[in-house]
Structure 1
Amino acid sequence: MAALWFGSLVLLSCPLWVRAYPSGAPTGACEDMMPRHMGVTPQTSRPPYTLLTDAAVYSPGKPITVTIVGPDYRGLLLEARAPGRLSALGTWQLPPPDTRFLECSGNSRGAVTHANINLKGNSTVFSWRPPDTTGPVYFMATVAEQRTVFWLNIRSGLLFRAPVSGLGLASATKGVAPEVPLLSAALCWIVCKTLL
């Protein structure tokens, strides 16, 4: 009888050993990007995934498109970060099908994760809205091909803030003189002054 009880106890505890997160990463994964798949470690090989963006520069409030390029995958955790920081930066826009927002760094839209284990692929495109910051940013992802096969800390290239314009005049499309760089305007003024 004792063996039967012990066997039942072992069978009931088995689901705890293989715990995974089919409906998305837990908030505890925000900083280290580590899935909480019990008994599984990240792949050490070069990831078959790349994070591509539609721009090399960003402007506060102007959306940036991010795509995870590579084989189909089932799970993900995607954040934007500043170099040297572990906190999520900016906000994600409407998540694509089979994904959802994840609250990270106190931001309810600070990251995107999977909503289920349906396949996602190169057609899954994410939209991120940068905050009003001045430093470079990059995207960081953990991508799970399946529960036991995942790559940690996949990084995009750095994106730099677009130069702030406004030192010149208003643009011609608004019915005013076109923008003129400050240096050109100053040189023109000096040349005109010496000729007069």
Structure 2
Amino acid sequence: MDGSRWEARHRAAPDPVPRPPVGLVGLEEALPRRAGRRALDVACGLGAVSLWAAKQGFVVDAVDRSAVAISRLRENAVALGLDGLVRARVADVAGALPADVIGPYDLVVCQRFRDQTVLRLLPELLCADGVLVVTVLSAAGAAAPSRFAAGAGELSHLARTAQRCEVLRDVEGNGEATIVLRRTG
């Protein structure tokens, strides 16, 4: 989808309800419980996950290429009293993360954005015991083909090759793939 269509989609969408990343549901206890926790939400869209993480006490760096999405995320953070915890900014993460996105992070989330170069970088941003959650469209079990879908096993390969990480979840089917990794050291 091109930029103008994303802007229109974000403009027309209802305000997000703060919610954890889908892949993390049932694994919330795996998150570090220390003070000063940091989270990164890559391709955050309207920021439902960013707002949820801020409500959990994380300081959140949220990036998305859509100026409309980032503006609405900032407005919602203020409305929820979370503006000091959510640092949202416009950045195109296709092909690379912005140079000032520097770990370590306790939580890194990337949902519905598939760029193999960026996905391979994400485990390296985790601190010890940090958790990575990635969910993408997948060809596995998809009702119809999509040029945006990952090939079968693509995220599983990322999970197996991420250094110093243990796999907490690796599921694929019904047109979606999710991995949840935790940094071991």
Same fold (TM over 0.5): no
Higher relative contact order (CA 8 A, sep 6+): 1
Structure with bigger helix share is 2
